[in-house]
Amino acid sequence: MEWRVEPGLLDYAAGVEDMTKRAEAIAAGTARERIWLVEHPPLYTAGTSAVKSDLIVPRFPVYETGRGGQYTYHGPGQRVVYLNLDLGRRGRDVRRFVQAIERWVIAALADLEVQAWTAEGRIGVWTHDCQGGEAKIAAVGVRVRKWVTLHGLAINVAPDLGHYNGIVPCGIRTFGVTSLASLGKPANMAMMDAALLTHAPAMLRAIQAPSDTPSRPIP
């Protein structure tokens, strides 16, 4: 397993190309799994369920991508985590994988004094904003090809939340987005990375389905 933290801002197209090549190599048995932590310049991505009307103002470049989900924002101050994991040897359970990475984010945020949770019918990780309402603090969008995972998650550490105004994030109009910085919590990327690293082994164990659990087909 490789744990890699990319310095600086990574071009989105270059990141997707690298991630895709790594997934292909893992499927071929010629590369190790990887957890890759990056930041991107400001941009919007459209998942496979994106609705054109949810792109309100294309303030930044828009990339169509193969991950699940709808429109989201990436930019400086947001920790994006690309997961190239081999579900072929970890139980072949996509739902278990998504639940494991959501719990991973929740545990890491707890180390930074943020209580977070998942919500029925709403993908991602949620917390209370400064006004006491629910707001999304982390987005999840994955793809599985040849039982190797691509894409992953994005946690708002200290991005410019105004950049979300150009889209309807994840197609949800009734709830906003928040960040560690806007909640007055530690907004240091290194601290976020350390918390994720601490809880990564538990996440990887949670992905592994019991040996008697039947495999589920990829949606």
Smallest Cα–Cα separation from 73: which of 145, 173, 159?
159
Tokens 């919007």, residue located: 44
β-bridge pairing 34-38 and 78-84: antiparallel
Structural tokens at position 86: 């081999």
Tokens of 111: 């180390």
Q: Are 129 and 135 in contact (CB under 8 A)?
A: yes
Which residue type occupies 135? Answer: A
Written as six digits, the tokens of 192 are 């976020």
Element at 95 (helix H, strand E): helix 94-111
Tokens describing residue 3: 């744990």
Relative to beta strand 43-46, strand 62-64 is parallel
User: Of these residues, 10, 161, 170, 187, which one is catalytic?
Assistant: 170
Alpha carbon 104 to its chain centroid, in Å, reads 11
Q: Is residue 170 annotated as part of the catalytic site, yes or no?
A: yes
Look at the alpha carbons of 85, 91, 92, 98 in this order and tell me if their dihedral is positive or negative: negative
So which residues are the catalytic ones?
Answer: 170
